[in-house]
Every structure is written in structure tokens, then in C-alpha cells.
Amino acid sequence: GLEHCCNFSKPFFIQTSLQDRLEQTPYGDKSTPPVLTPASVHRTPLPVVKLIRIDDTNTHKECNSNSEVLQVSHGQGKSFKCKFKGKGNQQNHSSQTPHSCPDCGKCFLKAAQLQNHKRVHNGVKPYSCPDCGMKFAQMCHLQIHRRAHTGERPYCCSECGKRFSYSNDLQNHIRIHTGEKPYCCFECGKRFSQSSHYKRHTRIHTEEKPYGCSKCGKRFSEKSCLQIHIRIHTGEKPYCCTECGKRFSQLSHLKKHTRIHTEEKPYCCCKCGKQFSDSSTLQVHMRIHTGEKPYSCSECGKQFSQSSHLKTHRRIHTDERPYCCTECDKRFSDSSSLQVHMRIHTGEKPYSFRSYKVVICMQQGKSQYLHKTTKMS
């Protein structure tokens, strides 16, 4: 039947098996079910009782020889879980009275839990990192953050032994071994192992670019791309080569540069065996074998295997000439044409005729002289 809790006046339902036990107490016979009051509850030892969280659609039941189930409702479809056992612990029931958030109504078993939750609404961050001053609402969040300074990596991959500072990083890493890709794009069906990669991919379809440069207004789909772009304006180059001291604005550029010193070429063509120091050069090379030309001119439709070739070609239509001779101010549409022109001023002649055999061809009454040339070593 429906009863009210002794100390906080919340309605609850008592299952039949528990009701039968209560009727066997000195408060009445079986024909007259007892009415629970605060006084009667504290005077009489109750059987072991377990209060469990329930929902409106599927009531969870949990019983054993020493416990019974009380389904406790808090109104508005909310409920809580608590346990109390036997004599002397009835007061624990009142001490575990749920604490309700006045802002969102969420309930908690402990006052400390409610206080922690309230920081979501009031924005209070009492825990501060002694190294960088960053503030946190929860102590556990500060402890996790501290690993960035201490270098602690408590999570270890059982497959390869690689260690991580955060458990979610380990979970993402394990998918490399399992091949699991739980995130699927609804537009093209492509799958991803990490939700961040999936979100980044969806912007290809939506063309969303939420990150904008405050200097030039250029927009980007990824925050990391914006951060790299800003270095164009600031001139910042935080990555330095330990061999020659050359600095770079991007870590990937530094890694690629160091292979000049180490002569490392980890990327190999599966068709001809040629090796390359970076993956992008290998991708461009593979188009020689596949014949792929993914870059197309919007003006004349001509296709190219490299984006740089398309950019150079487009200057034919736009008449853009960004390369200027410092000696005579003559301008050119590509850097190679400027380099050839500069030899007029420097007098440099890198090519020499090693064969003077002249082949005379008669075409349309004109002579053409074809010279076999080779580059000087």
C-alpha cells in the first residue's frame, strides 16, 4: 500500500512480502494493517530493507532472504537508491534523504554531491593548478589535468605497451588494434574510430567553418588549422631543428625536415618500390601509376595530378604574375620562369651542348635545328 517515509514525508510503495512482515509486528494483527509513524519506526526493528532506483517503465526488483524492496518515488517521475539494515540504522534512512538542485531539480544522495553539482550552474571553480593557474570545478578534473605537467601515464595498452595519460585516449588507441570504427557518416558511409574525427569529417558535407581568423577573416573547419594559420600573421615558429637550427610553424614540417638529415624514407611505392620521406609526396607519385588527375580547371576543364600545377595553370586565365625580378622588375606567373630569367643577370649557364650533331628537318620550307642537350654535372 502507499505509505509515507517517516522523516521526509515522501510516498513509497511496500511490496506484499514486506507488508506481511510488518503486520507480524506488535502493532496489530493481520486483519488490521499497521500505519507507520515516526515513533513506531524508531521503536521497532525493521527487516533489512533496500531502497533501489526505479523508473516509470520498468520497475527493477531485487530481493534476497535478508532484504526487501521499497520503491521510493520523489514526484515528477524521479526516484533514488539507498540502503539501511536492521536495528539502529533506521536513522540512516533520513540521513540519506535526497538533496535536490533548486536550478534543475536533479537529486543527490549526499549534500557534497549536490554542492559539486551546483558549480555547473554558478560557474565556481575552486581548484587551481599550481603550475599554469588553470581552474577546475572538480578536484578529480584537476588531478587529471596535472598529468599534463607531470607526464604521468597510468593507462597502458596490453597489446603494444604504449601508455596514456587519459583512459579515453587508451580506448581510442585500442581501436587501432581491433579495427573498430563505431562512428559512421550518414552522408557517404565512411566510418571512424573516434567521434572527433567523425565530427570533423561531417563538415566536409555541411561546409561548416566555425573557426574564423580575427586578422584576415579566413575561416576554417578545424580549430587546429586556425591556430596554425594565425602563425602566418604572428610569424611564430615554435618548432626548431636540433641539427641545423631551422625553425618551423608546424610540427609536421619539422618532422619532414629532419628526414633530410637522417635520410629516412619510410613511405614506399607498392608499384615501383620508390621511397619517399613524406606521405604526401608518395600520394602524388602514385598518380603516375593510376593516371588520376583530381584537380580540374573551372575555366577550361583541363585536369592536373597536383594542386600546385592547377594553381600555376589558373594564372593563364587570371594573368596573375606574383614572381618579380629584383633586377629589372619583370614579373612572371611561376617561380621556375623567374629562375630562368635571373640567369640573364647572373650570367649563369648550367646547361652545355655535349653533342653538336645537327639534324636538319625540312618542314613547310623551314629548317629546324634539334640539339641534344644534357645538364652539366
- DSSP state letters, 199-239: HHHHHHHH----EE-TTT--EESSHHHHHHHHHHHH----E
Q: What is the DSSP letter of 98?
A: P
Q: Which of 282, 286, 303 has the alpha carbon at shortest distance from 294?
A: 303
8 A C-beta contact, residue 105 and residue 78: yes
Average pLDDT score over residue span 298-326 = 91
pLDDT for the residue numbered 287: 92
Q: How do strand 247-248 and strand 359-363 relate by DSSP bridges?
A: unpaired
Q: How many residues does the chain have?
A: 377
Average pLDDT score over residue span 190-217 = 92
Q: Which of 119, 107, 116 has the alpha carbon at shortest distance from 74?
A: 107
pLDDT for the residue numbered 96: 53
% pLDDT > 70, the chain: 67
Average pLDDT score over residue span 37-45 = 41
pLDDT for the residue numbered 354: 54
pLDDT for the residue numbered 91: 41
- Extents of the domains making up the chain: 2-100, 294-377
Please give the single-letter amino acid code of residue 94: S
Per-residue pLDDT reduced to its tens digit, 245-272: 999 999 989 999 999 999 999 999 999 9
Q: Which of 134-143, 218-227, 348-357 has the lowest mean pLDDT?
A: 348-357
CA 172 vs CA 40, 156, 157, 183: distances in Å: 56, 12, 11, 12
**Is a pLDDT exceeding 50 seen at residue 45?**
no
Mean pLDDT of the residues in the chain: 75
Please give the single-letter amino acid code of residue 271: K
Q: What is the DSSP letter of 296?
A: E
**Is a pLDDT exceeding 90 seen at residue 282?**
yes
pLDDT for the residue numbered 3: 42
Average pLDDT score over residue span 90-116 = 74
Q: Which of 183, 186, 211, 210 has the alpha carbon at shortest distance from 198?
A: 183
pLDDT for the residue numbered 116: 85
Fold held by 294-377: Double Stranded RNA Binding Domain (3.30.160)
pLDDT for the residue numbered 118: 87
pTM: 0.41
8 A C-beta contact, residue 27 and residue 44: yes
Confidence of residue 304 (pLDDT cuts 50, 70, 90): very high
pLDDT for the residue numbered 97: 56
Confidence of residue 98 (pLDDT cuts 50, 70, 90): confident
Average pLDDT score over residue span 163-178 = 91
CA 351 vs CA 23, 110, 325, 343, 345: distances in Å: 111, 85, 21, 11, 16
Residues 6 or more apart whose Cβ sits within 8 Å of residue 195: 183
Let me know how many helices (H) and strands (E) the chain has, helices first.
Answer: 12, 27
pLDDT for the residue numbered 353: 58
8 A C-beta contact, residue 46 and residue 6: no
Measured distance CA(154)–CA(5) in Å, rounded: 45
The C-alpha cell that represents 44 in the structure block: 521497532
